[in-house]
Amino acid sequence: MTRRMFVPAVVAALIVGAAASAPTQEAPADLILSNGRIITVDERFSIAQAVAVRADRIVAVGSDAAIARLAGPSTRRIDLRGKAVIPGLIDNHMHLLRAGTTWQREVRWDGIASRKEALALLAVRAKTLQPGEWIYTLGGWTADQFADDPRPPTREELDRVAPENPVFLQASYYRAYVNSRGREALGAGDASGVIGEAALRGAAAKLPVATGAELETSTRQMFRDLNKAGLTAFGSAGCEANVLPIYQRWTVQRQLNVRVFCITSELRQRTGDPFLDHVAYGEVVYAPLHDPMFVRTSSPQPDQLREWRRIATEVAKIRMPLHVHANLTNTIGAFLDQIEIINTEHPIAGLRWALAHVNQIDASHLARMKTLGVSAAVHPWAVTNGGINRTVFGDAAIDMPPLKTIQDSGVLWGLGSDGSRANQILPFQTLSWAVTGRMVGGARTLRQTITREQALIAHTRSNAWLLFQEKDLGSIEPGKRADLVVLDRDYLAVPEDQIKDITSVMTIVNGRIVYEVEK
């Protein structure tokens, strides 16, 4: 369904029936956003003019006139001046807590399409540091995203940019690049400053990370950057024990500016906390069957699969959700074989088991998943890794993943990033890729594109369902929690090539403004 087909009719319906959509009020609204385009992402994909919030909940959505009647003397009113509003964007799979340990120290290249600009960012950082302090970025980019010059940085260039500082630049999980000081400090890298895939993780593990007060500052800066990008909630792949107490404290103090739903290898049930909860077992079930990113094929062995099934069976016995890393064709098929066996003895219907990443999924897998009720958490590495995918997988890379096939399958699916190392984390870059088929920098890396509406649903309403939050999040409707993003341009109206550039001018989480552009 295209925007031209549904918008006029829906707006008319909303204006006529706005009063009916507003429940009886015991008190005035605390916040009203009016004179805008409220892209609700409800089941009808309705477009409204205004939305009213009381405390942490949306109380009404409709026309300016209808919503204005809900104001009181203390209501804060915000004139949107025609700006679009969408539900808070949800990333169903990001390594969130881990990212905070390095965020403030990194020079992030997410969405940077110019090699010249990327190197300039390093130079700017170098000028703020003392000699010997590290400059690094841990993933979220590859040289193929540089439209002006898709070459990785050389050791000599990095020496010129930061002559007094060690530099380590991790390109996804494929390679890393160091300057002379970085090579010396890590004891890794060839003469040209390249660290290969096999040594990359070990080298990165030697880099300094934030602790104590610095960790809190780094994490708060990460939240601000994520809120600016329009993100309000995450399925966190891993909730590291050394970081989790900070999140727990901020939850109690009502200072957590994002919602965090942990995916860990712990058999823990949900508590129902709207800000910090445990929602699924994963992402690793059995480590030997955890596909690396850049291998052509996998070959799961019978003894490995028996152990995988043993663990997954325990998850099914206690009726817990499962969210498992499954990327390559053979692995996806083998896991579905095991799930079908488990399902005969311990039915998984209603447990919301999901396969994550699924870059090599195909129609036969999807048909089996639909029968089982298994969902797909799609993490399109091609947004930044499209060039590497083409090198490793050849022509098949253009259908990794086959997005339209997934959309048309009837399997419930949502978009995530698998950031911040394997992939970039900006949601509008992901949405742009889904709609245009073009990775950061403009190269085409996807043949099977989908519509803007379908992509936005996958990053909001569908992800709310994957994280058991569909009653509270994912759309702008009365009764749901007030997670809203005011955009600097209209997602449904801008030219396709501008979707990637959209940012928030105001982000609201639980009815509280957590980010606002400085005026």
Asked whether residue 178 falls in the same domain as residue 218, the answer is no
- Amino acid at residue number 317: K
pLDDT at 12: 38
Q: Are residues 15 and 113 in the same domain?
A: no
pLDDT, residue 519, reads 75
- Do 196 and 217 belong to one domain? no
pLDDT of residue 348: 98
Give yes or no: residues 145 and 256 share one domain: no
Instruction: State how many domains the chain has.
Output: 3
User: Does residue 417 carry a pLDDT above 50?
Assistant: yes
> Per DSSP, what are the bridge partners of residue 260?
234, 276
Is the predicted pLDDT of residue 2 greater than 70, yes or no?
Answer: no
Residue 229 lies in a domain: yes
Per-residue pLDDT tens digits for 423-438? 999 999 999 999 999 9
Q: Calculate what percentage of the chain has a pLDDT beyond 70.
A: 95
Q: Residue 21: which pLDDT band, with cuts at 50, 70 and 90?
A: very low
Q: Are 196 and 227 members of one domain?
A: no
Whether residue 53 lies inside any domain: the answer is yes
Beta bridge partners of 58: 53
Cα–Cα distances (Å) from 47 to 39, 42, 83, 85, 296, in that order, read 5, 9, 12, 10, 44
In order, the DSSP letters of 305-357 are HHHHHHHHHHHHHTT--EEEEE-SHHHHHHHHHHHHHHHHHS--TTS--EEEE
> Considering 204, 221, 241, which residue would you say is the last residue of a domain?
204
pLDDT over 70 at 20, yes or no: no
**Residue 187: pLDDT band with limits 50, 70, 90:** very high
Pair 402, 478 in one domain: yes
- Domain hosting residue 478, numbered range: 212-515
Is 455 a residue whose pLDDT tops 80? yes
Q: Helix H segments across 189-269? A: 197-204, 212-228, 244-252
The answer to whether residue 457 sits within a structural domain is yes
CATH of residue 171's domain is: 3.10.310.70
* Structure tokens that stand for 368 in this block: 């089996």
Domain boundary among 138, 170, 204: 204
Residue 19: inside a domain: yes
Residue type, 225: D
Asked whether 428 and 105 are in contact (CB, 8 A), the reply is no
| Residues 175 and 299 occupy one common structural domain | no
Arithmetic mean of pLDDT over the chain: 95
274 φ, ψ to 5°?
-75, -10
Backbone φ and ψ for 431, nearest 5 degrees, come out as -65, -40
Q: Does residue 217 form part of some domain? A: yes
Instruction: Based on the fold, state whether residues 41 and 142 are members of the same structural domain.
Output: no
Residue 27 sits in a domain whose CATH number is: 2.30.40.10
CB 496 within 8 A of CB 446: no
Question: Are residues 160 and 255 both part of a single domain?
Answer: no
- 84 phi and psi angles, rounded to 5 deg: -85, 150
User: What is the DSSP secondary structure assignment for residue 450, as one 8-state letter?
Assistant: -
pLDDT digits (tens, 9 = 90+) for 143-175: 999 999 999 999 999 999 999 999 999 999 999
Residue 505 pLDDT greater than 70, yes or no: yes
State the Cα–Cα distance between residues 53 and 88, nearest whole angstrom.
14
- Among the listed residues 101, 201, 113, 177, the one whose alpha carbon sits nearest the alpha carbon of residue 424: 113
Is residue 437 assigned to a domain? yes
d(C-alpha 64, C-alpha 176), whole Å:
53
For residue 222, the SS3 value is: helix
Q: Across-strand partners of 47?
A: 39
Q: Summarize pLDDT for 365-407 with one digit per residue, the tens.
A: 999 999 999 999 999 999 999 999 999 999 999 999 999 999 9
The DSSP call for residue 23 is P
Domain end, chosen from 204, 238, 270, is at: 204
CB 425 within 8 A of CB 226: yes
* Spatial contact of 444 and 395, defined as CB atoms under 8 Å apart: no
Query: Residue 238 belongs to a domain with what CATH number?
Result: 3.20.20.140
Report the percentage of the chain scoring pLDDT > 90.
Answer: 95
Q: Is residue 95 part of a domain?
A: no
How would residue 10 be classed by pLDDT, with cut points 50, 70 and 90?
very low
Q: What is the pTM of this model?
A: 0.94
Give, in degrees to the nearest 5, the angle at Cα 128 between 127 and 129: 95
> Are 186 and 272 part of one and the same domain?
no
Tell me the per-residue pLDDT of 298-313, one tens digit each, with 9 for 90 and over. Answer: 999 999 999 999 999 9
Question: Rounded CA gap, 326 and 289, in Å?
Answer: 9
Q: What is the mean pLDDT of residues 324-344?
A: 98
Report whether 500 contacts 428 (CB < 8 A). Answer: yes
Same domain, 232 and 349: yes
Question: How do residues 232-260 score in pLDDT, each as one tens digit?
Answer: 999 999 999 999 999 999 999 999 999 99
User: Does residue 225 belong to any structural domain of this protein?
Assistant: yes
pLDDT tens per residue, range 206-219: 999 999 999 999 99
The answer on pLDDT for 23 being more than 50 is: no
Q: Tell me the average pLDDT across 462-486.
A: 98
Burial-class residue 149 by CB neighbours within 10 Å (0-12, 13-18, 19+): exposed
d(CA 519, CA 448): 40
Do 41 and 173 fall within a single domain? Answer: no
